[in-house]
Amino acid sequence: MIVEPYHRERAVAYARKWAYGRNPLFPNFAGIGGDCTNFISQCVYAGCCTMNFSPVLGWYYISLNDRAPAWSGVEFFFWFLTQNQGPGPFGREVGAGELSIGDVIQLGREEGDFYHTLLVTGYAEGSYLVAAHTDDSLNRRLDSYSYSRIRFLHIDGIRVAMPDTGACFENVLAGRQIGGEL
């Protein structure tokens, strides 16, 4: 397994293309709990093209009925990203000023649970700009959200078995297939 950089610009390019639409390769969870983490997983996948197929504790999507909890669940996504020692993206919780484009922000309630996942797409006039689904947005100012708690997740890199040729990104961005060569 080798460590490669996370392709931040690919994650943001994916967010730009699909923020106001739905990639036909993935389901829309808007009516069944929210589509935010599913969408951010798609963005992060576009930036790494590596899934972790570990049962229960992995991060993958094969079909609506065959996916890891971390693919679409806010807390599971956090746990996977910050604890992952295997294939796929890995990162850590950081302070507010330590994010880059393609990183992740999660919003929480006062009671302690986190309920919304966002992708950083830029920075403008003292606020991060983010993309999200459920309440679809692109380059929305983070300071326009109402929340009680917040956490910032910086993606440090990806662990892969072999380097990506770029075909995976092109395929998933175009909505043709999940993965590499056609």
Q: Is the pLDDT of residue 110 over 60?
A: yes
> Average pLDDT of 41-47?
97
Q: Span 45-52, mean pLDDT? A: 96
181 burial class (0-12, 13-18, 19+ CB within 10 angstroms)?
exposed
Q: Would residue 167 count as lying in a domain?
A: yes
pLDDT at 179 over 80: no
Total number of domains in the chain: 1
Domain annotation covers residue 21: yes
Flag whether 181 is in a domain: no
Question: Global pTM?
Answer: 0.94
For residue 124, is it within any domain? yes
Range of the domain at 11: 2-174
Residue 181 pLDDT exceeds 60: no
Confidence at residue 55, expressed as pLDDT on a 0 to 100 scale: 84
- Could you tell me how many residues make up the chain? 182
DSSP string, 127-151: EEEEEETTTTEEEEEGGGS--SEEE
Is residue 56's pLDDT more than 90?
no
pLDDT at 29: 79
